[in-house]
Amino acid sequence: MGGRSSKVSKKKLRPSYEHFSVLASETSFTTSEVETLYELYKKLSTSVVKDGYIQKEDLHFALFRNSNKQNLFLDRVFDLFDVNQNGQIDFAEFVQSLSVFHPKTPEEVKVKYAFKLYDLRHTGYIEHEELKEMVLAILTESNLELSDDVVKSIVDKTFVEADTKGDGRIDLEEWEQYVGKNPSLLKNMTLPYLMDITQAFPSFVMNTQTEESH
């Protein structure tokens, strides 16, 4: 077929106001916040590889304000929002991914995305080993170290409570019920500073290159 056509241009044009408005209508951001995010996107998408796209390290920096650790939680977030599965995130994917973590995004949306994050093997279920891997990843992200025994008891206890059908795996319905009783599970799914990105991001954007240059 014609290979990579003229759609890939060397210079990316700034999206139109209408494009910002459409993204705002699909997410928890206002149009002016989407414009602010575009400035952040431009900065981040040239911080590692100057190709105008967000790489995994860039997304880690945007979500957690650091880019120095490998983390399964971030890997899953990246995979979910790299809709085209091409190893990079375009501007629309970036805005939509951040929106899931917005404090105003409905809880049911966060619950479903959290389920997808834990469903590492894309089976439509959370299995025992997947839960263990994600618990370890979240502990690492929080700089917490627990013994293997403690981690095992957390995972076992979760399964006893969540696997109400007793089939050795957690489906979406069981997950929704379990999170309803344990809302702290969604803590990682909300980033408070997204409430006012016009205030939070200017200094954050300015510091991006200094952080990355070390």
Tokens encoding 95: 């805005």
d(CA 46, CA 166): 49
For CA atoms 166, 172, 178, 180, give the dihedral sign.
negative
Q: Which of 1-10, 70-79, 103-112, 191-200 reaches the highest mean pLDDT?
A: 103-112
Do 62 and 130 sit in the same domain of this protein?
Answer: no
pLDDT: is 205 or 157 the higher one?
157
Do 72 and 120 sit in the same domain of this protein?
Answer: no
* Inside any domain, residue 17: no
Do 120 and 90 sit in the same domain of this protein?
Answer: no
> Which residues on neighbouring strands pair with residue 89, listed in sequence order?
54
Predicted local confidence at residue 1, as pLDDT: 44
Do 128 and 185 sit in the same domain of this protein?
Answer: yes
Do 85 and 152 sit in the same domain of this protein?
Answer: no
Instruction: For the chain, state the CA radius of gyration.
Output: 19
201 confidence band (pLDDT: 50, 70, 90): low
175 confidence band (pLDDT: 50, 70, 90): very high
Mean pLDDT for the stretch of residues 87-101:
90
* Structural domain count, the chain: 2
Do 112 and 168 sit in the same domain of this protein?
Answer: yes
Predicted local confidence at residue 66, as pLDDT: 56
* Inside any domain, residue 117: yes
Do 131 and 171 sit in the same domain of this protein?
Answer: yes
Predicted local confidence at residue 48, as pLDDT: 63
Do 122 and 44 sit in the same domain of this protein?
Answer: no
* Inside any domain, residue 214: no
Q: Is the pLDDT of residue 47 over 70?
A: no
* Inside any domain, residue 212: no
* Inside any domain, residue 185: yes
In which domain, by residue range, is 140 found?
Answer: 106-194
Do 43 and 64 sit in the same domain of this protein?
Answer: yes
* Inside any domain, residue 207: no
d(CA 74, CA 197): 21
Do 152 and 84 sit in the same domain of this protein?
Answer: no
Name which of 58, 13, 11, 62 is nearest 37 in CA terms. 62
* Inside any domain, residue 72: yes
Do 129 and 190 sit in the same domain of this protein?
Answer: yes
d(CA 59, CA 48): 11
CATH number, residue 181:
1.10.238.10
Of 64, 79, 102, the one marking the end of a domain is: 102
Predicted local confidence at residue 212, as pLDDT: 41
* Inside any domain, residue 76: yes
